[in-house]
C-alpha cells in the first residue's frame, strides 16, 4: 500500500485493508449481538422514553429539535434513535447496539481512507485505524446504547475533516465550494449529535499543518504568506461560529446537571484535570480494569501525583516540540489530545465521574494517528521494510481485539457490568445502586438489600442510592422508612425525577392516590416523556 504500487494493486490492497478492518471489528464486538440495555442512562434515552417509543412522526421530529431532555440538545442523536424504532419495529437492544457498531466501523474506514488519501502511506493509516477500531477504551462508546451520540458525532466530525481536506486539495472553484459546504454541513450534524467536537476549528488548523501542509506551502511562497494566512483563518469562521453556538446551548441545557462551585471548587477541578490528562494516557497504554464510571474523589489529587503529572505533560510537550520535524504527526496528535480533552476533562463538571472511557473516543484519535506514523517513520529511518514492521500489527490486533471482546462481553447486562465496575473501582455508589436495582428486579432481595446499603454507606451525596434503598424498604413493607429515604433524596436533589416517581409509587401502594398526584405532577414537570410517570398518572 504505497504510492509506488500500480493502480490496480493499490485498489486491491485498499479493499483488503478495509475488509480486514470490518472482519476484525465484527469479531471483536461479537458480544453485542446478545447484549441487553443497561439501567444507566439507557432508560432516559431509550427504554423509558415515551417520545422515542412512538417512532418517527411530525411531533417527535419537532420534539427532537426542541427538547433539552437528559440535559442536552442533540437533535441528530434523537433522530437517529427514532429511525431505529422505525427500522426495528420498536426499541431494540440488538438493533441499537448493531447500529452503534455500524457507525464505529464506518468511522474506522473513513479514518483509514482519509489518512491513506492524504499521505499515500497505507500501513501507518491501517495501524491508526486499527487502534481506533480495537482499543478497549472505545468499547463504552459502542456497547452503550445511550452513547449513540458519541459514535454519531465522531463519524460526522471525521467526515467534516475529510471534506475539508478535499476542499483544500481541489483545484476548481466550483468543486472547492461544494467540498467546503459539505464540510460545514458535516460539522453541524456532528455538533448536533454531541458537543465533543466543539474544538473542530482548532483540529482543522492542525490538519492544515499535517497532513495537508498548507503552512509549509505558505513558507515556500513568502510573498503570498499574509493573504494565505488570512484565508486559512477566515475559512474557519463558520466552524467557529457553530462551535460557539453549540457551547452556549449545551451550557444552557446542562446547567441543571452541572456541579456548583460550592460542591466542587475550581481549584479541585483544575488539579483533577491536570491529573486526568496523565490518567487517560495510563489507560491508553494499559487498558485493564475498565469500568463504566470512576467516581470523582471530590478532592484534589495528592501533590506527588500532581507534580508527576505536570512533569509528564511538560516533558512530552518539550520532547515533541524539539522533535517536531522528526515526528510531525505525533506532535500535532499530542496537541489534538490536549485540546480535545478540554470539553470533558472536568472544568465544567457534568455527572459524577472523574474520568470516563467514552471521553477518550475523540481525544485519542490524534494520538493513534501520531503514534502510528511516528512508528513507521522510525522504521524507515532504521531501514526496516514497512511490510516487516507491520508484522507486529497482527499481534496487536489479537491482543487489542481480545481485550475489546472481553470488555464488550462485560456490557451484557446491568449485573455483569456493574459487578465488574464495583470490583475494579472503590466506593462506587453508582455501581452499588444499579446492582441493587438489578437484583431487586430479579427478585433476589438479599443481594438487593446488601448493595442498597453499600450504596448509601459509600455514596452519601447521591440521591439515587437513597431511592434504591427506599424502593427496597417499600418491598419489605417498611413504608415509613421508604418515605423518609425518598424525601431525603428529594431534599438533596430537587430535580431527581426517579425520587418523585418512587414516592408516588409508595403512596399508590398504600392506597393514597390523592397524595401521589402532586409527586407525579412534579416528575412530569421535570421529564414530560417519562413512561413510568405517565403510567402512574393514567392509572
CATH value at residue 524: 1.25.40.10
Residue 81 is assigned to a structural domain of this protein: yes
Domains contained in the chain, number = 2
Unique residue bearing C-alpha cell 502511506: 121
| Positions of E strands within 289-328 | 294-295
- Domain stop point among 382, 409, 436: 409
Using only C-alpha atoms, what is the Rg of the chain?
Answer: 25
For 338-388, the DSSP string reads HHHTTTTSSSS-BSSEEE-GGGHHHHHHHHHHHHHHHHHHHHHHTT--HHH
Beta-carbon contacts of residue 465 (< 8 Å; ≥ 6 apart): 429, 432, 433, 452, 455, 456, 459
Q: 375 with 489, same domain?
A: no
Of the residues 378, 409, 440, which one is the last residue of a structural domain?
409
pLDDT of residue 459: 66
Cell of 533: 410517570
Clarify whether residues 184 and 312 are in a common domain.
yes
Shared domain for 378 and 458, answered yes or no, is no
Q: In terms of residues, how long is the chain?
A: 539
| Domain assignment of residue 418, yes or no | no
Please tell me whether residues 393 and 459 are part of one structural domain: no
Contacts of 214 (CB under 8 A, 6+ apart): 168, 208, 228, 232
- Report if residue 44 sits inside a domain: yes
- Domain of residue 453, residue span: 427-538
Residue 3: the pLDDT is 47
Q: Which three cell numbers stand for residue 221?
A: 511562497
* Cα distance between residue 456 and residue 253, in whole Å: 29
Are residue 445 and residue 341 in the same domain, yes or no?
no
The low-confidence residues of the chain, meaning pLDDT below 50, are 3-4, 258-262
Q: Are strands 294-295 and 353-355 parallel, antiparallel or unpaired?
A: antiparallel
Is the domain of 319 the same as that of 289? yes
Q: Mark whether 12 and 145 lie in a shared domain.
A: yes
Report residue 294 as a C-alpha cell.
Answer: 470512576
Asked, for residue 345, whether it belongs to a domain, the answer is yes
Please answer whether residues 129 and 116 qualify as being in contact, where contact means their C-beta atoms are separated by less than 8 angstroms.
Answer: no
Question: How many Cα neighbours within 13 Å face the side chain of 334?
Answer: 19
Do 369 and 221 reside in the same domain of the chain?
Answer: yes
Residue 419 lies in a domain: no
Same domain, 376 and 257: yes
pLDDT at residue number 347: 57
Statement to judge: residues 216 and 271 lie in one domain: yes
Please tell me the predicted confidence (pLDDT) of residue 231: 76
**pLDDT digits over 453-476, tens only?**
888 888 655 677 788 788 878 888
Choose the final residue of a domain: 379, 409, 439: 409
Q: Which residues, listed in sequence order, are joined to residue 76 by a DSSP beta bridge?
A: none
Would 487 be classed as within a structural domain?
A: yes
Q: In this structure, are 230 and 359 located in the same domain?
A: yes
Separation between Cα atoms, residue 61 and residue 75, nearest integer Å: 9
**Rounded to whole angstroms, how far apart are CA atoms 105 and 112?**
11
Residue 2 belongs to some domain of the structure? no
Q: At what angle do helices 429-441 and 463-475 cross, to 10 degrees?
A: 30
User: How far apart (Å, rounded) are the C-alpha atoms in residues 57 and 76?
Assistant: 15
Give the separation between CA 201 and CA 242, rounded to whole angstroms: 10
Task: Report residue 360 as a C-alpha cell.
Answer: 477518550
**Could you tell me the three cell numbers for 25?**
471489528
Asked if residue 389 and residue 457 are part of one domain, the reply reads no
pTM of the full structure: 0.89
What are residue 530's phi and psi, to 5 degrees? -70, 120
Q: Is residue 169 part of a domain?
A: yes
Amino acid at each position: 500500500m504505497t504510492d509506488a504500487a500500480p493502480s490496480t494493486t493499490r485498489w486491491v490492497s485498499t479493499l483488503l485493508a478495509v475488509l480486514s478492518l470490518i472482519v476484525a471489528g465484527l469479531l471483536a464486538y461479537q458480544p453485542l449481538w446478545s447484549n441487553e440495555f443497561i439501567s444507566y442512562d439507557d432508560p432516559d434515552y431509550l427504554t423509558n422514553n415515551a417520545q422515542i417509543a412512538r417512532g418517527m412522526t411530525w411531533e417527535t421530529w419537532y420534539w427532537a429539535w426542541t427538547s433539552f431532555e437528559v440535559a442536552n440538545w442533540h437533535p441528530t442523536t434523537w433522530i437517529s434513535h427514532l429511525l431505529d424504532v422505525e427500522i426495528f419495529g420498536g426499541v431494540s437492544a440488538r438493533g441499537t447496539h448493531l447500529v452503534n457498531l455500524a457507525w464505529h466501523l464506518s468511522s474506522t474506514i473513513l479514518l483509514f481512507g482519509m489518512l491513506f488519501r492524504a499521505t499515500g502511506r497505507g500501513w501507518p493509516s491501517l495501524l491508526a485505524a486499527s487502534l481506533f477500531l480495537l482499543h478497549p477504551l472505545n468499547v463504552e462508546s459502542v456497547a452503550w446504547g445511550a452513547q449513540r451520540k458519541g459514535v454519531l458525532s465522531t463519524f460526522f466530525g471525521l467526515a467534516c475533516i475529510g471534506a475539508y481536506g478535499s476542499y483544500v486539495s481541489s483545484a476548481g472553484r466550483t468543486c472547492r465550494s461544494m467540498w467546503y459546504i459539505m464540510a460545514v454541513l458535516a460539522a453541524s450534524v456532528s455538533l448536533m449529535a454531541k458537543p465533543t467536537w466543539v474544538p473542530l476549528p482548532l483540529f482543522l488548523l492542525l490538519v492544515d499543518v499535517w497532513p495537508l501542509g498548507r503552512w509549509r506551502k505558505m513558507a515556500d511562497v513568502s510573498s503570498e504568506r499574509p493573504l494565505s494566512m488570512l484565508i486559512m483563518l477566515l475559512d474557519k469562521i463558520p466552524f467557529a461560529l457553530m462551535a460557539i453556538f453549540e457551547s452556549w446551548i449545551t451550557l444552557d441545557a446542562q446547567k441543571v446537571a452541572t456541579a456548583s462551585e460550592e460542591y466542587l471548587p475550581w481549584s479541585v477541578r483544575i488539579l483533577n484535570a491536570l491529573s486526568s490528562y496523565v490518567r487517560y494516557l495510563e489507560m491508553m497504554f494499559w487498558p485493564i480494569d475498565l469500568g463504566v464510571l470512576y467516581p470523582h474523589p471530590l478532592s484534589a489529587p495528592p501533590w506527588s501525583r500532581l507534580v508527576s503529572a505536570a512533569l509528564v505533560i511538560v516533558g512530552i510537550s518539550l520532547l515533541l516540540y524539539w522533535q517536531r520535524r522528526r515526528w510531525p504527526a505525533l506532535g500535532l496528535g499530542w496537541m489534538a489530545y490536549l485540546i480535545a480533552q478540554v470539553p470533558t476533562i472536568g472544568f465544567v463538571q457534568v455527572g459524577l465521574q472523574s474520568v470516563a472511557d467514552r471521553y477518550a473516543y475523540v481525544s485519542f484519535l490524534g494520538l493513534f494517528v501520531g503514534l502510528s506514523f511516528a512508528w513507521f517513520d522510525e522504521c524507515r529511518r532504521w531501514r526496516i521494510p514497512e511490510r516487516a514492521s507491520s508484522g507486529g500489527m497482527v499481534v496487536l490486533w489479537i491482543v487489542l481485539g481480545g481485550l475489546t471482546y472481553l470488555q464488550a462481553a462485560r456490557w451484557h447486562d446491568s449485573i455483569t457490568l456493574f459487578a465488574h465496575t464495583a470490583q475494579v473501582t472503590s466506593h462506587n455508589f453508582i455501581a452499588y445502586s444499579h446492582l441493587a436495582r438489578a437484583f431487586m428486579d430479579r427478585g433476589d432481595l438479599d443481594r438487593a438489600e446488601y448493595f442498597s446499603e453499600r450504596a448509601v454507606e459509600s455514596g452519601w451525596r447521591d440521591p439515587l442510592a437513597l431511592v434504591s434503598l427506599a424502593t427496597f424498604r417499600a418491598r419489605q413493607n417498611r413504608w415509613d422508612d421508604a418515605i423518609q429515604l425518598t424525601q431525603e433524596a428529594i431534599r438533596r436533589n430537587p430535580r431527581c425525577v426517579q425520587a418523585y416517581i418512587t414516592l408516588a409509587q409508595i403512596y399508590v401502594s398504600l392506597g393514597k392516590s390523592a397524595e401521589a398526584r402532586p409527586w407525579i405532577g412534579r416528575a412530569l414537570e421535570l421529564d414530560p416523556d417519562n413512561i413510568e410517570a405517565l403510567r402512574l398518572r393514567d392509572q
